[in-house]
Structure 1
Amino acid sequence: MSVLKEGAYTVPSRVIGIYNYLIKAKGHQENREKLYQVLSPISLLMSLNKKKQDVSSNLDEIPEEEIKKDPHKMIKAVTRQCINMGLLIEDDASIKLNPEINKKDSLPSIVVNLFLSPDNCENHDFARVIAWYLAQNFYDAPGNWEETETQLRQQVGDGLLELNDTRYGQFEDWSCYLGFCWRNSLSKKPVLVPDPTVYLRYNLKRLFNNQVNQQLPLAEFINRLGKYCPIFETGQFREEIEQQIELREPNHLSGVTSIALRRLEDEGSIRLEKLSDAPVLLLTAGFGDPGISHITWLGSKTNGGQS
């Protein structure tokens, strides 16, 4: 079961809590029952329930009888999802970090790679939804569940990529945490915005093999990006979606990818150029010279990124 289908327990903050505890634990592991008791003490759960009497509280509701029956139901569910995605593994009575993950990397980057792994399809439903969302018109993308449901029904049919109103909240939380979207709270009703600038900024070093000032044909860069993160153009999940919907013209990048590249150019992380007699891809963001043939990584220019 994926993080979308599990319900509301497996949110990024709880996965962060488990990871931060185990990354500092001896051997990156802990006894299962001790892990549950430390991260979800019964006294804390009971205290939170008392606070829920305040009508302004938006904390998750866990009925008191449920706490008494299985006080660690929530942390067990989150731990199980972390095991399903490959972040954790079980070892007899212990839970430990998967030794194959790169512990020097940021947790969002680790989770993205686990979600998109061809060897573990557990969270490929999330991959398909985010691939669909990043393929939308940047200026007219659905910003809430009601708009998303309508758009999905029109573009992919009644299956809605297995998304529903409950799973949409999970999709919002994870897409923002992983750097593919952000929430615009300027209006009275916050909306979700498709914008993978944060994800791209953090992964430019990988896409350019950590070679600052390396210049690549833009088409080669997009091919690398699609292989590394297949929710983008040329990637497996994106191509699955683009076979169903026609939102991008040939030799054009989507508006969402175009905006992200322009933002990275504005902040000084990359340089976009149109070299004479070189094949170009067309950026569809609506400003600047749309024809771009090459991209150069100029190094990390900001402190922004995944943490």
Structure 2
Amino acid sequence: MSLFSVPDTVPSRVLAVYRYLLRAKGHRESRETLERVLMPEGLPLANFTSKKEGQEQPEAEQGLRTEAESAPASALAAGEESKQRGMISRVVRECVSMGLLVQEGDEVMLSPGLPEAARDPKQAEALAPLSLCDLIMHSDNESNHDIVRAIAWYLAFDPQRPPMDWDVLDVDYREEVRSLSMNNSARYGQLREWGCYLGFTWTFSFSKAKNAQLIPDPTEHLRLRLPRLFTKGNVVRPFGDVLAALAGQCGVFEGGRFRRENENAHRSTPLEGRSLTRASAHAWLRLQEEGLVELSHASDADAMLLPEEEDIQRYSQVRWLGEVRG
């Protein structure tokens, strides 16, 4: 299973598990207690398990729903609780699978392999998008690389002219979405939920009557990752070196593992020369407008090419204007 194939595992539920264990004694709890705290008996099931049309429904829940239709009233309450617990149990299971948690007997705990900051309640929540992103993209976590390849693929779209919604993707890009295992709206929903939470996309709606449009824009993710790309503040670095480090840390960007996999599978078009996608270019230029970075070009240096509207901006150097975290 994976985040892509289990629609229960939206970021808010994973964060609920994470927040609880951040503050639990020894960062551990019995799985039974954790699941009962996060899904207390008696909460209305509809509030937690309703899905949009076309979303996947785990086989276990399908069976429970069929049985419930013919079950006597005396058994209904037990069945409702079982379905509720099934949802949170699947979330905990995927937290273990991605490496956020470790299970020991009947207990679960935060993984000892997490960085110290990711286990510190004072820092962990602010860093959670990066911490979860690193876990999902880790080389040992191949079961979740399907959703990462989908994010990398979506970042190749022009942020000013992206696909309108799932209906457009399913018609105009059917071959690509099928090769990404994104074969229904539920998985598109996971791309939307995780892409936005991790800072790679955001949604925009022209009106309440229309579906929200997913915009490829990694600005928020870049903003969080800047301190990891610069060991010192206010120091000029070659832009190409920074982008290479970014690709190594987060393989959805140009030159990164998942971007290359999509190119090799002919899902994404290889970039020419030292060009960036429009989504990446707009993100760097936006961070410069915000005063977080300073882009410049030395005439004797190799420049990266950032498409902007009908023009191409050339930059060979970047300076981060923030503060290095201690």
TM-score range (shorter-chain normalised) is 0.7 to 0.9
Among all aligned residue pairs of Structure 1 and Structure 2, give the percentage whose two residues are the same amino acid: 38
How far 1:122 sits from its partner (Å)? Answer: 1.7
Report if the CA contact (8 A) 1:135-1:247 is conserved: no
Contact 2:295–2:319 (CA under 8 A) maintained in structure 1 = yes
2:81 matched to 1:82?
no
Residue 271 (structure 1) aligned with residue 291 (structure 2): no
Q: Work out which of the residue numbers 158, 170, 173 in structure 1 matches 2:193.
A: 173
Moved more, 84-93 or 159-168: 159-168
- Residues 1:100 and 2:113 aligned together: yes
Cα distance in 2 for partners of 1:139, 1:45 equals 41
Structure 2: which amino acid aligns with 1:87?
A: L
Q: Give deviations 1:64-88, integer Å, cap 9, x for gaps.
A: 7442445411110100010111111
Match of 2:221 in 1: 199
* Alignment correspondent of 1:2: 2
Q: Give deviations 1:72-112, integer Å, cap 9, x for gaps.
A: 11110100010111111101111111111122442111110
Decide whether the 8 Å contact of 1:136 with 1:247 is kept in 2.
no
Aligned to 1:229: 250
Stretches of structure 1 lacking an aligned partner (at least 5 in a row): 53-59, 301-307
> Mapping of 1:116-195 within 5 angstroms?
116-153=137-174, 156=176, 159-163=178-182, 164-188=184-208, 189=210, 190-195=212-217
Is the Cα contact below 8 Å between 1:42 and 1:67 reproduced in 2?
no
- What residue is the counterpart of 1:290 in the other structure? 313
Tell me the SS of whatever aligns to 2:44.
Answer: helix
Deviation at 1:159, TM superposition (A): 2.8
The whole-number CA distance in structure 2 between the counterparts of 1:31 and 1:45 is 24
Do the aligned residues in 2 keep the contact of 1:149 with 1:160 (CA within 8 Å)?
no
Equivalent in 276, 294, 313 of residue 253 of structure 1: 276
Aligned-residue offset at 1:241: 1.4
Checking the alignment, whether the CA contact within 8 Å between 2:98 and 2:136 is kept in structure 1 is yes
**Counterpart-to-counterpart distance in 2, 1:47 and 1:153:** 32
* Larger CA deviation: 39-48 vs 13-22: 39-48
User: What amino acid is the match of 2:308?
Assistant: A
Moved more, 289-298 or 168-177: 289-298
Cα distance in 2 for residues equivalent to 1:46 and 1:228 = 39
- Alignment partners' CA distance in 2, 1:39 and 1:252: 46
SS at match of 1:45: coil
Select between 118-127 and 145-154 the one with higher mean Cα deviation. Answer: 145-154
Question: In structure 2, how many angstroms separate the alpha carbons of the residues matched to 1:261 and 1:71?
Answer: 43
* RMSD (CA atoms): 2.4
Conserved 8 A contact 2:102-2:108: yes
Deviation for aligned residue 1:247 = 5.8
Deviation of the 1:18 alpha carbon? 0.7
224 and 48 in structure 1: CA distance in 2 versus 1, 3 angstrom threshold? closer
What is the TM-score when the length of structure 1 is the normalising length? Answer: 0.87
Deviation at 1:135, TM superposition (A): 1.1
Q: Give how far 1:147 is off.
A: 1.9
- C-alpha contact 2:45 2:84 (8 A) present in aligned 1: no
- CA offsets, 1:207-251, max 9 Å, x none? 112x11121111111111100001100101101112313263222
**Aligned CA distance change for structure 1 residues 165 and 279 (closer, same or farther; 3 Å):** same
- For the pair 1:33 / 2:38, whether they are aligned, the reply is no
The 3 A distance-change label for structure 1 pair 241 and 70 is closer
